[in-house]
Amino acid sequence: MTVEIVILAMIAAFLGLRLYSVLGRRAEHEEETISGRIDGKPGTNAAPAAPAPRQPVERQQQAPNPALQPRNIPAVTASVERGLRAIAAADRQFDAYAFIEGARSAYRMILEAFWRGDKDELQQLCDRDVYEGFAAAIDARVAAGETLENRLVRIEEATISAASFDAPVARITVRFRSDIAAVTRNAEGAVVAGSLNDAVEAIDIWTFNRNVASSDPDWLLDETDEG
């Protein structure tokens, strides 16, 4: 009986050692696998490590030319559209709608500068020929002792009527329809013409130009006419 117990104990011990040996190796293998995943070096059966997140890369793209988009070409004649597209091809920053808004502002600024006799501002907004015409009219007014009390009530309409590009100069003609209240006073301050109570419709056709090769983004008044 004692011998049988000893034999059974020896068998149990032997099986325990075999079981420990197998489990120990499996545990070591699993530990290597887990360790490999953490280190980013998976074993044969390990799942591949997750790719490192991509760092953001600054994309350098040429800005699209907004003037070549259909919505940025106003309703104009075919010849005007060709002129605008030619200007846009030469000046990547050109936008027809932005130009019209700028032309409306320039129209107001130039008129108001002329009415108050501000030659310095006119010189910045007009080319030489137009400036000289305005300056001569201001001098004649001063010599006559007259002053203007004009007021631009509103700009009813500003539309592009012509556009052309003769490298490197772009030219765009705008037709303005506006309401202006005008008063002229003599040296004594008496009203000699006009009334601030009655606005008169005025139609002006102004042409602006710009050298697209220049770093100066401003357009200058190149020509004036009445409609």
> Per-residue pLDDT tens for 18-46?
434 434 443 444 444 333 333 444 444 44
Supply the mean pLDDT for the chain.
79
- The class of domain 80-226 in CATH terms is alpha beta
| pLDDT confidence bin for 197, thresholds 50/70/90 | confident
Q: What is the mean pLDDT of residues 162-184?
A: 97
- Residue pair 173/161 in contact by the 8 Å Cβ criterion: yes
Query: pLDDT tens digits for 41-89?
Result: 444 444 445 444 444 434 344 444 444 443 456 778 999 999 999 999 9
pLDDT at 209: 98
- Measured CA distances, 192 to 62, 120, 145, 147, 183 (Å): 58, 27, 12, 10, 8
Q: Has this prediction a pTM greater than 0.85?
A: no
For 116: left if phi > 0, alpha if psi spans -120 to 50, otherwise beta; the answer is alpha
Q: Which residue has the tokens 């032309």?
A: 103
Question: Domains of the chain: which residue ranges?
Answer: 80-226
pLDDT at 72: 57
Q: What percent of the chain has pLDDT over 70?
A: 67
Q: What is the mean pLDDT of residues 178-192?
A: 94
In this predicted structure, the answer to whether residue 2 has a pLDDT above a threshold of 70 is no
The more confidently predicted of residues 164 and 52 is: 164
**Greatest Cα pair distance in the chain:** 147
pLDDT at 148: 95
In this predicted structure, the answer to whether residue 224 has a pLDDT above a threshold of 60 is yes
pLDDT at 196: 81
Query: pLDDT tens digits for 81-114?
Result: 999 999 999 999 999 999 999 999 999 999 999 9
In this predicted structure, the answer to whether residue 17 has a pLDDT above a threshold of 50 is no
pLDDT at 227: 76
